[in-house]
Amino acid sequence: MKILKRIVFVVLFLLPFYLNSQVGIELMGNKNVYKSWNDVIYNYSGKESKIFKYSYGGGINYWFRVKNYRLEFTPGIYYMFSKFKFPDSECKFEYDSHVAGAEFDMNVYMFDFISRNYKRDCPTFSHDGEWFRKSFFIQVSPGLFGAYRSVKNSVDNIDDMHIAGKFDFGFGLDMKITDHLIVAPVIKYGLYIGEKWTGFSEFHAERSYNDITQGNYVNLVLNFYLK
């Protein structure tokens, strides 16, 4: 909760600096599934648990678009964190995950793709007109991130840092709240590519091939734009 409060504070602090700009601020939440790591946790504890099931964070992005078409891009950077503890109080292991990355979002407004009437200094979702047709978009987003993860108990600990990728896709809506505030919620499904935690399996008396895991997630993002 302390880290989340810090993120909210930073977001509120930065908002005034983005007035009249093409920069957006985003709050993010993930529901994650790490298949092999969950199997290791289950084999070790004898109870089904989901490691790093939820992660939270935020980021910033920059908006630009293709002329005459509703094809828009919001490349950005982000940070997310997660914690995990066994529900059994007898197991004192503590797990932490910190992820920082970059992604390149591409938004396709499929119901209003050819659009020659737009203002060049602000996102097109601020225009008047048929709301859903102009607001609905499909988003595709490849990305690259660095992950630092650690686990510790009363006598030992391991930590690891690695680079991995992700790819997600979903849909969103641009919602004009006021003349100066736009909120764009997006929900996506994605895959982690190359997720690995060196030493994780052996720390739990498992074979090392479980250090590599299949991973997928559902991602909810709230984008805030001021103009």
In the prediction, which pLDDT does 121 show? Answer: 43
Q: Which of 18-27, 97-106, 150-159, 200-209 has the highest mean pLDDT?
A: 97-106
Range scoring the smallest mean pLDDT among 61-65, 81-85, 189-193, 207-211: 207-211
- Confidence bin at 71 (pLDDT 50/70/90): confident
Kindly list the domain boundaries of the chain, sorted by start residue: 2-185+195-226
Mean residue pLDDT of the chain comes to 83
In the prediction, which pLDDT does 197 show? Answer: 93
Q: Which of 6-15, 58-67, 115-124 has the highest mean pLDDT?
A: 58-67
| Cβ partners under 8 Å of residue 104, min gap 6 | 73, 75, 141, 142, 143
Mean pLDDT of 148-161: 86
pLDDT tens figures, 98-126: 999 999 999 999 887 776 555 544 444 44
DSSP state of 155: S
In the prediction, which pLDDT does 91 show? Answer: 74
CATH, domain 2-185+195-226, list 2.40.160.20, 1.10.645.10, 3.40.50.720, 3.40.1160.10: 2.40.160.20
C-alpha distance from residue 80 to each of 96, 98, 99, 156, 219 (Å): 11, 6, 5, 25, 12
- Confidence bin at 53 (pLDDT 50/70/90): very high
Structure tokens at 120: 């060049």
